[in-house]
Amino acid sequence: MPAVVSLRRPIRRLAVASLFAATALALSAPLTLLTPSPALAAEKGVFFPESFTLANGMQVVVIPNRRVPVVTHMVWYKVGAADEERGVSGIAHFLEHLMFKGTDQVAPGAFSRIVAKNGGRDNAFTSYDYTAYHQNVARDRLELVMTMEADRMANLRLTDALVDPERDVIIEERRQRVENKPTDRMSELINATLFVHHPYGTPVIGWPQEMATLTRADAERFYKTWYAPNNAILVVSGDVSAAELKPLAERTYGAVAARPVPERRRVSEPPMAAERRVTLRDPEVRQPWIHRSWVAPSHRVDPGHHVYALEVLAEIMSGGSTSRLYRELVVERKLATSAWLGYNPSAWDMGTLNTGATPAAGVPMDRLEDALWGEIRKLLDQGVTDDEVATARKRMLAAAAYARDSLTGPAQTLGAALATGQSLDDVESWPVRIDAVTAEQVNAAARAVLGKTNHVTGVLLPPVGKDG
């Protein structure tokens, strides 16, 4: 599943596939400290979080970072676009917008103004599997944003006068961010062709004809169904410890009553019997490209135990200027200006593995396509070497060592992982599991995914006669 994440200001794409690579990588219940033992400290652990659970079921995770008196505060709801009912696509993203329309305590639109007035920044985003709201503020403003976020968790007040104009906003957002951009329209087409039955094939922002019919009642029903403390995760990263945060969390989020939340039930994607191809020609295309997507395991759904091997594979094939695809297609053969392979295992259901390239000036698309698939065939026929795997592991582990330098990156990594079925131990064990990957495992994982025909190829081109 492509990691399409819709932001309120503005919609954009966020690669949560492997945020280790992107960043580097009950009230009475006792406080649980997850710092590893000295014997494992050199091997296991990335963020060394602290965790506790409020009496209402809300999980709280704290990542202490004392470098500056600032915190990133994030609330993750375990619901996204793939949890929507049929016929109301886009309602998860629409509700994300409407969460800023106020409560009895905070006037419509005042939430962001209050955060800004106190020197902070805020935003929100929606994906297929979760919706998150976040603020970056000074340490002494943390209780303020916790109070406001807890308030709108339970007390959102909507009227038609607020909802109807915001529906026009998201429709215009779709026009600007999807319909006016050939690359985004092509990505949407590829996704819908890869997942013809599963909700991952429906765009996060929604289909236009369904977005136009969304109502206040739809938004309120979705809110009352899914927005509850026992379906949320609070992640705070920065100048605070769990011991310091716990009384604040009890006073704010702990005052929100738990509610029954339905089980996530999604239809299964039928087996893909044949490869599929999508071609889009558009006069706005300035840079053609080719893209291929395969259905792949995710951290939660990995029957073949291939996830970590596929992460290493992506590093070998696309981890910088010395990676296989870039070196062969861009540097040596000069057929492309970019060539890549990416893997997204962060999903509640299936993940995706994707590869693609953009042609160099004057290079016909069919020649580039033959060369790209030739590199994939070479991988399947000859495999990767022990040296390639060892080098990739070193690069990945070195990057993970710097993961704590950011405030927002760790909060995003842990929040996305927990919202898609992983545990804190899964995240903290990532270095150990990556370091154990062998060339044999990488080759087996490559054959299990890339060796199948369950893929969609997309080609983006200018109009006929203007191919370069």
Q: Catalytic positions, please?
A: 96
User: DSSP characters for 304-370?
Assistant: T--HHHHHHHHHHHHSSTTSHHIIIIIIIS--EEEEEEEEE--SSS-EEEEEEEEEPTT--HHHHHH
Concatenating the DSSP letter of every residue in 90-139 gives THHHHHHHHTTS--SSS-TTHHHHHHHHTT-EEEEEE-SS-EEEEEEEEG
| Amino acid at the residue 217 | A
| Residues present in the chain in total | 468
CA 118 vs CA 138, 143, 394: distances in Å? 8, 12, 42
Q: Are 406 and 23 in contact (CB under 8 A)?
A: yes
Q: How crowded is residue 135: how many other Cβ atoms within 10 Å of its Cβ?
A: 25
CA 336, distance to chain mean position in Å, is 28
Q: Radius of gyration (Cα) for the chain, nearest Å?
A: 23
Q: Is 410 exposed, middle or buried (0-12, 13-18, 19+ CB in 10 A)?
A: buried
Q: Which helix or strand (DSSP H or E) is residue 59 part of?
A: strand 59-64
Asked if 1 and 344 touch (Cβ cutoff 8 Å), the reply is yes
**Helix 307-318 to helix 439-450 angle, to the nearest 10 degrees?**
90
Torsion angle defined by CA atoms of residues 81, 84, 88 and 92, in that order, rounded to the nearest 10 degrees: -40
- Beta strands 59-64 and 232-238 are parallel
CA dihedral 142, 145, 150, 156 (to 10 degrees): 180
